[in-house]
Structure formats: structure tokens, C-alpha cells
Amino acid sequence: MSPFSIHPQLRADCHLLGRFPRSHLLLHKNALIPWFILVPETDLTNLFELAPEPRRAVIEESASIARFITEELAFPRINFAAIGNLVPQLHLHLIGRRAGDPCWPLTVWGNLLENLSYPAERIKEWTAMLEKKCGLKPEAQGQDH
């Protein structure tokens, strides 16, 4: 069995923030909306194919990120999806939404017409907050994730 790696498209579109026991946490590079992506460490492609315990753990990790988005970033709505039409690897989108955001009330897919990059300091700040509040761990250096 080959070592786990994050799909190249996800790596190109996102910042790698760290990992939880079951998943790797990414942040979409477009800073217009807080868009986090959890990538469970599995070869399965659908969330509901996971055995009950790993599935429960991934859902709990998702809930932790959702709380971070609502409580720390003050976005009252969470869009949650596991679509995987373009990237077949199982990954879960958690997107902070609120009235008046750049594509409200439409979905973010295909409706984020601008692109804004995150300042490095913001990524460091959010990563530190996620470590403290959600138990995020740094990725091991040198791993192909």
C-alpha cells in the first residue's frame, strides 16, 4: 500500500494547515470566504463508506472546524459538502457563510468571481487558533501530504 498523499488539485488550491487524528486540514487559497477542507486519511471516496468509528471521528473533526468558523470567525452559517466530482479523493468542504458575503445566497462553486490571497500572518494566526481551540497538530515535515 502506498503512503497517503493529498490530491494534487487540493494541494494546488489550498494551504495545508495541519492534521487531526483522522484528517488533514486545508484552507482554500481564496480569502474572500473562509473555506476549510478536511481530507480524511483513507482510500475510500465516499464519507458513508467509512466504518462507523472513523466516520464518527471525521464528523467530530468537521464539527470542530464548524465551531471555529461560527465562534471565532463569526460566520453564522456553515455550508458543508462532500461532492468530489472533480477531485475523486474524499474531502469535506466547510465554508463560512453570511448574508452579504461575495456570492450570497448562491453557492461558492462557480460564484466566487474574484480572488483574494491570505496574508501569511492570517494563516499563522488561524493555524495557532486551530491548534489551541481544536487540537490541530502540525504536519510532520518532509511527508508527502
Q: What is the pLDDT along the chain (145 residues), one digit of tens a residue?
A: 568 999 999 999 999 999 999 999 999 999 999 999 999 999 999 999 999 999 999 999 999 999 999 999 999 999 999 988 899 999 999 999 999 999 999 999 999 999 999 999 999 999 999 999 999 999 875 444 4
Question: Does residue 89 lie within any of the structural domains?
Answer: yes
Q: Helix or strand or coil: residue 124?
A: helix
Q: What is the domain count for the chain?
A: 1
Strand 92-97 to strand 14-19: parallel, antiparallel, or no bridges (unpaired)? unpaired
Q: What is the CATH number of the domain that holds 41?
A: 3.30.428.10
Question: Does residue 139 lie within any of the structural domains?
Answer: no
Q: Helix or strand or coil: residue 121?
A: helix
| pTM for the full predicted model | 0.94
